[in-house]
Amino acid sequence: MKYTTLGRKSGLRVSELALGTGNFGTGWGHGAEPAEAKKIFDMYAEAGGNFIDTANVYQSGQSEKLLAEFIASDRDHFVIATKYTNGTDSSARVSEKGNNRKNMMRAVDESLKRLKTDHIDLFWTHISDGMTPMEEIMRGFDDLVSSGKILYAGLSNFPAWRIARADMMAELRGFAPIVAIQTEYSLAERTAERELIPMAEALGLAITAWSPLGGGFLTGKYREASADNRLSKLGMLVHTEKTEKDTLLINTIFDIAKEANATATHIAIAWLLHKASHSNTALIPILGSRTAEQLNTTLGALEVTLSESQMSQLDAVSAVSLGVPHEQISGSAKNLAAGNQVRVYLGSA
């Protein structure tokens, strides 16, 4: 496995694929038993992976506790990322939720205890609560970095304008910077290309992509009558074949998989890795395997190289409208605004 720095605002070196551990444990009524989780972890580590993504809420805290056991003998090798916002379980009260400083400080201490470590490498705000000021979040992150409880901070599932505000605030006030964002991104969900990905590339923020297989949709497994019952359990986290466009996408993935002597899983991940190789910042898919067999299958994508023709086919069948104002300021409209004669030397300004 190859390595990359976590964006242009850090020198932290992480593997090109991250291991998501939302399936480590059975606190949600589904997931991997400890022995299976250990197999997944070991397989990922043996492949060269060092970037582990978890959260306080995953499996009601079981994910962090299992990780504590798995990393104990080699803690410094692994880059551990965890998140706060949600309460650890359904019994969480109002003060144990949200992006506010009170919950942030409580959550980081509890995650440190569950992970049995003295620091968290990357601490995420899990999702925007729509009410906590960015000033409060950023000052809290800065204090945690200064105290040594966390090394880096990131924003997961935030709108681009709030992330850009946080980035500028850190620069102007001397706060510890946001180094990465986390968002859903795959052949099944490309709307991050409207604002989030261009913003991250412009600001040098790493992009970690959750649900790179669309919750399993891109593998084609939900076409089978005996589809995994996680489809009903995970709800919005799983895409389904609802439209002609969805059907065309899955058919194209299978056609290209046949050409490449690969699987649909390989093609979906290889598409992301190809995007990463052409990005000016880190783009890192998060693999959320539930079994060692699934992870073994997914890792095979590292051996697949898609041709430009195959990438073009996949891009075409999965394309999304960029909407306003992006479609208005591209092509002829942009040339008209520039007077049709002006050469621009500062990128896409």
* 254 membership: H or E segment, kind and range: helix 244-259
Give me the DSSP letters along 45-107: HHTT--EEE--TTGGGGHHHHHHHHHHGGGGGGSEEEEEESS-SSTT--GGGSSSSHHHHHHH
CA distance 177 to 313: 38
User: Contacts by 155-158 with C-beta closer than 8 Å and gap 24+?
Assistant: 155/124, 155/125, 155/128, 155/180, 155/181, 155/182, 156/83, 156/124, 156/125, 156/126, 156/127, 156/181, 156/182, 156/183, 157/126, 157/127, 157/128, 157/182, 157/183, 158/125, 158/127, 158/128
Per the DSSP assignment, residues forming a β-bridge with 52 are 19, 80
CA distance 66 to 38: 8
Q: Which amino acid is at 181?
A: I
CA distance 281 to 303: 22
CA distance 262 to 283: 22
* Structure token pair of residue 281: 């910042």
Catalytic residue among 44, 58, 152, 185: 58
CA distance 63 to 33: 10
User: Running DSSP on this structure, what letter comes out for residue 343?
Assistant: P
Beta-strand relationship, 3-5 and 13-15? antiparallel
Please indicate whether residue 58 is annotated as part of the active site: yes
Burial class (CB in 10 A: 0-12, 13-18, 19+), 193: middle
Beta-strand relationship, 283-287 and 18-20? parallel
Distance from the first to the final alpha carbon of the chain: 35
Give catalytic residues, as residue numbers: 58
